[in-house]
Chains A and B, each alone.
Chain A
Amino acid sequence: MESEKLIQTLIEQTRQNMNAVENLKELDTGYLNSRLSENSWSILECIEHLNLYGDFYLPALEKNIQKSTTIPSSDFNTGFLGNYFANSMLPKPGSKMKTFKDKDPIYTDLNRAVIDNFINQQIKLLKLIELSRSKNLNSIRIPISITTLIKLKLGDTFRFLINHNIRHIHQIETIKSHLPQVLTHQI
Chain B
Amino acid sequence: MIDSLRSLSEKTITVNRNQYLKVAGSIDTNIYFIESGSLRIFVLNDDDEQVIRFGYKENLIVALDSFLSNRPSGLFIQAIKKTVVRVINKVQFNALLKDETVKELWIKTLENLIIQQHEREIDLLTSSPKKRYESVMKRSPKLFQEIPEKHIANYLRMSAETLSRLKKS
Whether A23 and B26, one on each chain, are in contact in the complex, defined by CB atoms closer than 8 angstroms, is no
Chain A interface bracket (under 10, 10 to 19, 20 to 34, 35 or more):
10 to 19
A123-B44, A130-B72, A133-B72 known; A8+B19 contact, CB < 8 A? no
Whether A18 and B27, one on each chain, are in contact in the complex, defined by CB atoms closer than 8 angstroms, is no
Interface: B12 (CB within 8 A): no
Query: Which residues of A, 1-58, contact B by the 8 Å Cβ criterion?
Result: 7-8, 11-12, 14-15, 18-19, 22-23, 25-26
- Measured CA separation A126–B72 after assembly (Å): 12
Whether A15 and B26, one on each chain, are in contact in the complex, defined by CB atoms closer than 8 angstroms, is yes
Classify the secondary structure of A's interface with B: helix
Having A8-B27, A127-B24, one finds 11 other A-B pairs with CB under 8 Å, namely A8-B26, A14-B23, A15-B22, A19-B15, A22-B16, A22-B19, A25-B17, A25-B18, A123-B24, A127-B44, A133-B72
What are some 16 contacts across the A-B interface (CB < 8 A)? A12-B26, A14-B23, A15-B20, A15-B26, A18-B20, A19-B15, A19-B19, A22-B18, A23-B19, A26-B16, A123-B24, A123-B44, A129-B25, A130-B25, A130-B72, A133-B25
B15: chain A residues at CB < 8 Å are 19
Interface residues of B (CB under 8 A from A): 15-20, 22-27, 44, 72, 74
Query: Which residues of A, 78-128, contact B by the 8 Å Cβ criterion?
Result: 123, 126-127
How many Å from the CB of A120 to the closest CB on chain B?
8
Interface residues of A (CB under 8 A from B): 7-8, 11-12, 14-15, 18-19, 22-23, 25-26, 123, 126-127, 129-130, 133
- Measured CA separation A26–B22 after assembly (Å): 21
Across the A-B interface, the 4 shortest Cβ-Cβ residue pairs: A130-B25, A19-B19, A22-B18, A15-B23
Q: Which residue in chain B gives the minimum CB-CB distance to A133?
A: B72
